[in-house]
Amino acid sequence: MSFFLLRRTGGLVLTLLAISIVVFAVMNVLPGDPALTILGIDATDDARAALRVQLGLDDPAPVRYVQWIAGIARGDFGTSYSFGVPVAGLIAERLPLTLSLALSGTLLTLVIALAAGLYSASRHGRTGDWAVMILSQLGIAIPAFWLAILLVLLFAVNLRWFPPGGFPGWSDPLGSLRSLVLPTIALAAVQGAVLARVTRSSALEVMRLDFVRTARATGLSPARVLWRHVLPNALVPVITIVGMQFAGVVTGTIVIENVFYLPGLGRLIFQSIANRDIITVQALVLMVAAVVVLANFAVDVAYALIDPRLKARLA
Amino acid sequence: MRRFPVNLVLGAALAGSVTLVALLSFIWTPYDHAAIAVTNKFASPSFAHWLGTDQLGRDVVSQLMVAARNSMIVAFVSVVLGGGIGIVLGVYASARGGWVENLIMRVSDLSLAFPALLFAIMLAAVFGPSLQNTVIAIAFINIPIFARISRGAANQVWTREFMLAGQAAGMGRMTLTFDHVMPNIAAAIIVQATIEFAVALLAEAALSYLGLGAQPPAPSWGRMLSDAQTLLYLAPQLAIYPGLCIVISVLGFGLLGDSIRDLSDPRLRRER
Amino acid sequence: MLDVSNLSVRFGDAYALRDASLTVHPGDRIGVVGESGSGKSMLAQALMGMVPESASMSGILKIDGTEMTRATEAQWRALRARRVAMIFQEPLAALNPLRRVGTTVMEPLRTHLGLSRTQARARTLDLFEEVGLPDPEQRLAAYPHELSGGQRQRVLIALALACDPKLLIADEPTTALDAEVAQRITDLLVRLSRDRAMALMIISHDLQVVARATRQLLVMYGGDIVERGETRKILSAPFHPYTRGLLAARPRPQLARPVPGTKRPRLPTIPGHIPALVDLPAGCRFSGRCPAELSRCRTTRSTEFRTGTGLAACHLLNPAERSKS
């Protein structure tokens, strides 16, 4: 187990470094002058040169890269060009919202996928199965942001059950929860549709295995066989896809935050793009990519925890 | 045992009609899609304007048609571009083997961690949002996908006997790649391209919704939706049509790709 | 406790089991032999109420006096494990790989018998002891992949015994095991049947296992029971041409005798191959492969006649036929 973890952690660090190089290269080596974008074309050459020195842009790119990474290692992501405050602070302020949305979205995705997928598998070839499959095919084709708009139209504009967007702040817990309901549904419905198919086919495969027959021969109820015996064994491929989909959940969160005007990292990215705040965008992009990579890492470790056979092999 | 291929027929019908409408928009739209008529804004559907007009009195049907064309061009160019680079990388990796193959595959695994949206965000931050950046971003995510699939398919071809025979006859690996590998992996690639085309349509819609894609006045379904979102209380119907267009085209090409894959080779089904 | 008459399982027009009749009393030990496709596994599934959904059952199947042919799934569930239990061929595949075997065995104890966790644990330990698992305490926490093949089969037997069934059906219980372990498992099944006065039905293509463990024997072919009687007697003096072929085909050919009325030499294998269910002849299922076939065999099915050793369904035994020839 420890060797496995060690090797995977090594790979993780290398991957993160590689990603940071790519991000830095795209944002800094490509032509473009942050001083020009910040000050505008009316500024004098002197003013721009002064700003470049102030931002540390006169150093060669490799030096700036090392400084950037060293700063991140200390928790210093640099100072935002447009807000004039540390980027780390900006992130810390908005992270809880994005994290809650991503987590609640993933949770609801799993609930939808497992319930629909298992139901569909247990009704294999019958009407219920068909209905779920048609719904999920539709769900895969629906853009999350359009579903979000439809939800706003129905539940906010017409029924007025939930706010159409915005966030009251965590000091109002009930209001915060209410404003996260529609974004969570929009995020989870589409991801859940994809995952429901995976769950169904995985469960169908498990249901053909001998131990399911043993469980039936033991007189266990179909529900018990399904949830206690089929589900755990069907989970491994499902978790793989959850890991692969996590990139989708994260970008989905960025999109959904913009649909609902939620002040999270996704909004921050777009504000920073509008402000040409390269250092902030750079930090955020790196963070999001890192989250995706970390999620895949977590999935690998989760396998070993679920499957005792794997655990034995890794020991 | 073979049932009527519902998915294939439905997918072909949907994808075909979207393509026809997009092509039609080159020669005919009911109105000039950009013609503004402020006196006739938010018109209800009528014989003159089948789906009504928007906040500037522009004809919705005309805009949807031109947007279909734009989306499909973006999706097509980016899949061809990214797919082309990916196929070259994948086939080359398979032909060379060894550390070259390893390196190419490692890098492509790495870039899978990079969603199209992030790439588009970076490009937009450096160069400002534009249609080209959308194309580049979507093309970029297609590179590793096609590199993987063409390498996998090519590796299978390399194990076949006629390949050994060819090598024994002194043919170069590149010649063999062009003469034998490419024709044999074409089917798998076409199937994947159809599916990725659907994914690209979806990505284009999301990027243009976020304002990273096509800039005004070029119409796009995504931007029509973000405009309509600000007018939900005034004209909720405007938020329906572009979304339906996206669903129909994504569903059409997705179903088409999936069902061709299932028909041509059931074994491929489990690979994604 | 089990009373079966004219039980059939059909897929459309194809019979997987045709008019099977048998009675099982407590403590009986019955062997069922036949090649794959003979219907022996379908008989076992029918007795568990676990025939595939696409199949239809007809006839009479009484378990403890209750007619079960048209029983619902819920009614069957009440009988499984408590009246009739079953163990399977491939003990590794038959155990949930993600569960500790203790949990697996405790599950029916808790859900069916309503035992508490500690009670179920104590009971499981007793069962493990009874089936001869070494170090029962440690085995509770083991995963299936950590056990040997014989130990896994013992776990499955313990699971089957959990709710004190009256009949234990063992479907090829030793096929996946090596010879020595197979013998010990066979002996264990016999001992359990004696100790618990529990009926035992062993389905096997391995005649040695059946000879060692059972007192009565059913020989099946193409969905029919073709011969039945005392195991020892049938194995030493088979009557039905199929039984003879089956015995001749096994590694100890000296037990088989040439079929009377034919000039063929002893059969090292049965000629022809087992037909698919839909291609079976309407009369005797064995006609077409039978070395002693009569003209009516193909179209008419024989009733069961007394042989020296039991009963066999074969026209050769019909006194009317005998007088003709």
A125 contact residues in C (CB cutoff 8 A): none
Q: Which pLDDT belongs to residue A312? A: 61
pLDDT above 60: residue A233:
yes
Q: What is the pLDDT of residue C267?
A: 45
Say whether both A99 and A160 belong to one domain. yes
pLDDT band at C242 (very low <50, low <70, confident <90, very high): confident
Structural domain boundaries of chain B? 7-12+51-271
- Chain B residue with CA closest to A273: the answer is B125
Domain encompassing residue A64: 20-73
Do A175 and A239 share a structural domain? Answer: yes
Whether A188 and A58 share a structural domain: no
Separation CA B164–CA B147 (nearest Å): 23
Query: Are residue A40 and residue A144 in the same domain, yes or no?
Result: no
- Whether residue C169 is predicted with pLDDT greater than 90 in this model: the reply is yes
**Does residue A10 sit within a domain?**
no
**How far apart are alpha carbons A127 and A134 in whole angstroms?**
11
Give the helix/strand (H/E) hosting B227: helix B221-229
Whole-number Å distance between alpha carbons of C106 and C119: 9
> Could you tell me the maximum CA-CA distance found in chain B, to the nearest angstrom?
77
Q: Do A296 and B110 touch (CB under 8 A)?
A: no
Q: Is residue A2 part of a domain?
A: no
Number of domains within chain A: 2
Q: Which helix H or strand E contains C58, and what residues bound it? A: strand C56-63
Task: Give residue A109's pLDDT band: very low, low, confident or very high (50, 70, 90).
Answer: very high
CA A79/CA A82 separation, integer angstroms: 9
Instruction: In whole angstroms, give the CA distance from residue B102 to residue B63.
Output: 47
Residue type, position C72, single letter: T
Q: Parse chain C into domains and list their residue ranges.
A: 25-55+70-221, 232-252+268-324
Cβ separation A22–B114 shorter than 8 A: yes
Q: Tell me, what CATH number does A268's domain have? A: 1.10.3720.10
Subunits in contact with chain C (3 or more CB pairs closer than 8 Å): A
Give the mean pLDDT of chain C.
Answer: 84
**Token representation of residue C11:** 């897929």
Residue A204 sits in the same domain as residue A65: no
What is chain C's length?
A: 325
- Pair A122, A46 in one domain: no
- A80 inside domain: no
| Cα–Cα distance measured from residue C140 to residue C290, given in angstroms and rounded to the nearest whole number | 51
A46 and A147 fall within a common domain: no
pLDDT surpassing 80 at residue A240:
no
Instruction: Tell me the pLDDT tens digit for each residue of A19-73.
Output: 888 888 887 766 666 666 666 666 677 777 777 776 667 777 788 888 888 888 8
Indicate the fold that domain B7-12+51-271 takes in CATH.
Answer: MetI-like fold (1.10.3720)
Among chain C, residues having any CB pair with chain A shorter than 8 Å are 48, 50, 73, 77-82, 85-86, 88, 90, 93-99, 107-108, 111-112, 143, 145-146, 156, 159-160, 162-163
User: Is a pLDDT exceeding 70 seen at residue A211?
Assistant: yes
Within this chain, do residues A182 and A69 fall inside the same structural domain, yes or no?
Answer: no
Pick C25-55+70-221's CATH classification: 3.40.50.300, 2.60.120.10, 3.40.50.970, 1.10.645.10: 3.40.50.300
Residues A155 and A62 in one domain: no
What is the pLDDT tens value at each position of chain B, 272 positions in all? 356 778 888 888 888 888 888 888 888 777 777 777 777 777 777 777 677 777 776 777 888 888 888 889 999 999 999 999 999 999 898 888 888 888 888 888 777 767 777 888 888 777 778 888 889 889 988 998 899 888 888 888 887 777 777 777 777 777 788 877 888 888 888 888 988 998 899 888 888 888 888 787 788 888 888 888 887 777 788 888 888 889 999 999 988 888 887 776 555 444 33
Distance from CA of B85 to the nearest CA of A (A): 19
ipTM here: 0.83
Interface of A with C (CB under 8 A): 209-211, 213-222, 224, 228-229, 232-233, 306-309, 312
